Amino acid sequence: MSLEVNEKTEVRLVFLGAAGVGKTALIRRFLQDTFEPKHRRTVEELHSKEYDVGGIKITIHIMDTSGSYSFPAMRKLSIQNSDAFALVYAIDDPESLEAVKSLREEILEVKEDKYTPIVVVGNKIDRQNERQVSSEDVLSTVKLDWNNSFLEASAKDNDNVIEVFRELLQQANLPSRLSPALRRRRETFPKDTNNRPPMNKTNSCLIS
C-alpha cells in the first residue's frame, strides 16, 4: 500500500514539563523499556527511532527538554521545530500542573495555532497514595477548555506509556500503519480499554 500524500514519514515530538516529573523516564521506557528511579537533570536530548512500515521508513524524533527553564531560547526553538507536544506533570506535584498551563500558552504563542497537537500527561500514577492533583479536574480543563488530549501514566510501572506515544503520533498525522509496527514491542497496546479508569483515552465521555 502506497503512502498517501498527506501522511508524513518523519515526525518530531517534544516532551515539556517541570523538573522531575518523569519526562526522561517516559521516553526511556518507550525506547528502551527500562526505568531509572534516580532523577538526572536533562539539558536537552534528541532521540531518533526508525520504523519500517510496509517498506516505508518512518522516523520519529523525540526531544527531551530541561525542566529548569533556564534555556528559554532553546525551548522556543524546540517548540518551533516540533509537530506534537507532550506536556508532563506529576500527580503528586500541583506546581508541575501550573507549569503545564504556562507551557501550553507558550506553545500556542510560538506556533500561532490553537489546534497544535498537545497531549497532557499526568505521570507517576504509581503514587496514588500521594496524589494531589485530581484526574477529573484536569480532564475537564484539558478536554473542555483546551480541547486537547489527556492521559495518566506511570513510567515506573509501564502503565499507559505506549498510549501516550500512540496518541502523539496519531495527532501528528503519522500513518496509522505505524501502530502495528509498535506491536513488536513487549508491552503491546491494550486491546480492550473499556475496563480502564477514565484517565485513559481521549474519547472517554466524562461530560456529555
Domain CATH number, residue 49: 3.40.50.300
Residue 80 lies in a domain: yes
Question: Given pLDDT bands bounded at 50, 70 and 90, which one contains residue 5?
Answer: very low
Cα 165 to chain centroid, rounded = 6
CA distance linking residue 116 with residue 29, whole number of Å: 25
| Grid cell locating 137 | 479536574
As separate numbers, helices (DSSP H) first and strands (DSSP E) second, the chain gives 6, 6
Residue 103 lies in a domain: yes
Question: Given pLDDT bands bounded at 50, 70 and 90, which one contains residue 173?
Answer: confident
Residue 151 lies in a domain: yes
Residue 191 lies in a domain: no
Residue 164 lies in a domain: yes
pLDDT at site 94 = 97
Question: Given pLDDT bands bounded at 50, 70 and 90, which one contains residue 156?
Answer: very high
pLDDT at site 1 = 43
Number of domains into which the chain is organized: 1
Residue 29 lies in a domain: yes
Containing domain of residue 165, as a range?
Answer: 10-182
Question: Given pLDDT bands bounded at 50, 70 and 90, which one contains residue 103?
Answer: very high
pLDDT exceeds 90 at position 203: no
Alpha helices in the chain (DSSP H): 23-32, 72-80, 94-111, 135-140, 161-171, 178-182
CA distance linking residue 85 with residue 79, whole number of Å: 8
Residue 199 lies in a domain: no
Residue 198 lies in a domain: no
The pTM score is 0.79
